[in-house]
Structure 1
Amino acid sequence: MNTQAAIPPRWRAPRWTVWATWAVFLAIFVQGVVAIKLTPERLLRGIGNLGDFLARAFPPDTGGLDAVAWAMLETLNIAIVGVSVGVVLSVPFALLAARNTTPHMLVRSTVRLVIATLRTIPDLIWALIFVVAVGLGPLAGVLAIVLDTIGFAARFFAERIEEVQPGPSEALASTGAGRLSVVMGAILPETFASMTATSLYSVEKAIRSAVTLGLVGAGGIGVELAASMRLFQYDRAFMIILVILVVVIAFEQVSASIRRRVI
């Protein structure tokens, strides 16, 4: 008796489609290698340039550490303010996008489309748009992270809300509680731990994003890093990279500790 489970029909495909898929993938891969001019000579030259960068970066320049610290603090401010506002706004988006809390399926489809759009557009593009809208500085970075967080967090919030067991909600509704009371009394408490974990992931993601956003003028330590690289001050740039590395790792450790206690 064959104990192996049969492959579901959706996983079966004619052999020619498998070969055709691999052929298309291989063609795109080869075209990509040619398009980016990936050659051994270029790689060897790149290794030499990297060695030159490292040689000029050591030892790191700690002379302007106070200015870098303030820029890093501004980056943390951008990330935390942006995520805080984004997470708060993500909750109503998620409630409208979840199947069991939306007032109408048309509303659900529309909101899910908005969330998908916010998630699809990279935060760097949002930053460029807001730099044009509100000018250079941290406000552009905050607004970019707000929209990026809504696209990221609202999706996971909505999925978690849809996974809530209907029992507590139905019991509360049977006592005459309104829709808002059911949401506040049964659904949100059930999803609190998951939402907290997602929010912490959002902060981790936003700190890394805030560094990148500074490269396009959205404030923070990215501005300092871009200026150092443009002026070929590699020792100062390397010191900035080390500061970013320490802060990101430290926050990830704190975030992981909080998640272990909450979940």
Structure 2
Amino acid sequence: MSRRLFQRSSAPEQEVPPPGRYEIRFPEKSRLSQDREYCEVMHEGQWKRIRFHDYDSIYQLPGLYEQIFYEALQCRSHDRLSQMLGDALVEHGERINDLRMLELGAGNGVVGEKMRALGVQALAGLDISPVAREAALRDRPGVYDDYHVLDLTRLEEAQAGKLRAYRPNCLLAVASLGFGDIPPQALTAAINLVAPRGWVAMNVKHEFVASARPDSYGALLRGMAASGILEIRSYHIYTHRLSVDGRRLHYAALVARKVGSEAKDANVAEIALAAKVA
């Protein structure tokens, strides 16, 4: 297997009543950039406009997240990453029920619920939003053993100690990286929590991974691979979901093994962000 890395609208609204609890309409032929996408939701007798990256507003309406992204826009990233992680475990003779997983950007627990169904026995959620935690506990009680609300770019030693005591050997981040939601520095901090020989499974918008910027996800991942911190086991570019006007949004998904020593891990950010683009 190759280890080569990466190489509103003034238009009228189109009403789309996907199956589910809410009546939703999307802007027609909008060509909005991904970080500006929105929909309108009929709630309490009025149309309410909600940006897709305003997760707190979405989570406050039970089931809306699933209806927008999984039903209407056909998000399949949770399936793709779970399959890739499962394949890597089989290749190495390991079992999914031996994972002690941290889910970064856990949101309302959609992905965590799938991980439980696949056999993950130990699962902790991480998110910066208390609203996300409330939604996960409301919609999927019992999915997470613990759910931590914290900012990984400002992680206190007591918080880090509590997370390390969980002894995580897998980090999962599905559709949570990019657009200012979880910066590369937070991803670095999360990877540092994973035990040696543990797993990292994540996806991110392809253009962010391909970016030559020194502060990009691409620089971070190329640097970790070049310095021996991560060993990339699989890497795929695929359709994450549809845009509001039906375009395919391409993401990169990867599964990696953490093989770097603790000494290297202490300087992951500096090593990675200084790395040259291959």
TM-score bucket of the superposed structures, by smaller chain: under 0.3
Q: Which has the larger radius of gyration?
A: 1
TM-score, with structure 2 as normaliser: 0.21
Query: Which structure is higher in RCO with an 8 Å CA cutoff and minimum separation 6?
Result: 1
TM-score, with structure 1 as normaliser: 0.22
Decide which structure has greater strand share. 2
